[in-house]
Copies of this chain bind each other. A is one copy, B any other.
């Protein structure tokens, strides 16, 4: 008798959808196979696709509140408008913005995300209440100012100490120095040292735009990844968001140091940053995962959109219709995200974290189903998700979020916008 079992579904196991039953004990998958399973709680997955939950590996969650605030402006003008609003975000705003982002993620099949922002206690609370899994970091900006750096590192460290392991381990708290263009090498090394002391990870923006690439080269005489490597910053502890502007030998460096890279295709297009060298990085053996980035530069947290987009962009960028195959991009969106952040999940396999989603296989866009893998990767809208299980707990059932009042969150977020409109 398992705590929870899922029967009669087509389960994504070893890169294909096959008939299997799943038994869950506590927060882990305890059984996967053809035998009948019984549970305290049973889900009939007939007519459903059962797969590991999606991992959104780079977000600024509460930026939902800035979704559509300003659009279609040159990048620098847009950024300055966005920063004006961000400066006004209160703790309460960040809480509700996070709730809205989590609502969207749960409904579109994301079971875990990695966030970097501020007022992070509020994000952690929202994660606790809603049942989703998260890797959280306070985004530290030091700007070469020692005093500011001390303050930032203190906030970041306290956040790690306060929240790491909270809610049965659903929260992992790590460090988030913003980027090499907003943090000095000296500060980054302090962060590295602190991360080693606390045995935790580092989430950082690197090589997002050509501008950044050129600026770093001008300032330090070397490109971003080389700069970080030369100071000894790079290791398995480091997760790089974007990595759009990397040269061949920088890809080798990322691989050798064990750095993971988060590809954010929609955001990279929207802000005109470029198309990351995902195929080259995967071929080199780099662990590449997928993210949406903040809602202001996307404008959704629909990871199914990123899955299709990532694959299509590699096909056009490499000139090969067989580039970034369906199973590889789905692995990026699931297992690689969990791996990057040191979590034993992202696979339907005994011993893995029970973070599982179910999709309605009978949607008109999924028919006919020669191979459900292709339906999921190339034909999903993002609204096919019927059930979401995180850490062994059911949090979405028949499309309804069980852990939050959807209408209240939407009304609250809608009202908050007035505060920014008068700006």
Contacts and interface: CB of A to CB of B under 8 A. Distances in A.
Interface of A: 64-65, 67-69, 71-75, 78, 100, 103-104, 107-108, 266, 268-275, 298-302, 305, 308-309, 312-313, 315-316, 318-323, 325-326, 362, 364-365, 367-371, 374-375, 378-379, 381-383, 406, 409-410, 413-414, 416-417, 420-421
Nearest to A368: B417
Contacts of A268: 316
17 contacts: A67-B370, A67-B374, A68-B378, A68-B379, A69-B370, A71-B378, A72-B325, A73-B322, A104-B364, A266-B312, A269-B315, A270-B312, A273-B316, A298-B378, A299-B365, A299-B374, A364-B409
Given A269-B315, A312-B270, A71 B364 contact: no
B68 A321 contact: no
Contacts of A417: 368-370
Contact of A381 (B300, B313, B379): B300
A320 B375 contact: no
A368 B414 CA distance: 5
A385 to B, nearest CB: 11
Nearest to A103: B364
Nearest to A410: B367
Copy number of this protein in the oligomer? Answer: 2
Nearest to A315: B272
A316 B276 CA distance: 11
Nearest to A401: B364
Nearest to A375: B68
A302 B369 CA distance: 18
A299 B373 CA distance: 12
Contacts of A272: 315-316, 318-321, 323
Contacts of A378: 68, 71, 270, 298-300
Given A64-B368, A305-B305, 10 more contacts: A68-B371, A71-B378, A74-B320, A107-B364, A271-B315, A271-B321, A272-B319, A272-B320, A367-B410, A367-B414
A369 B74 contact: no
Contact of A413 (B275, B368, B420): B368
Contacts of A275: 316
A316 B274 contact: yes
A78 B273 contact: no
A168 to B, nearest CB: 26
Contacts of A65: 368
* The 10 A-B residue pairs with the shortest CB-CB distance in the complex, in nearest-first order: A68-B374, A368-B417, A269-B312, A383-B383, A299-B378, A72-B325, A299-B379, A269-B316, A75-B321, A381-B382
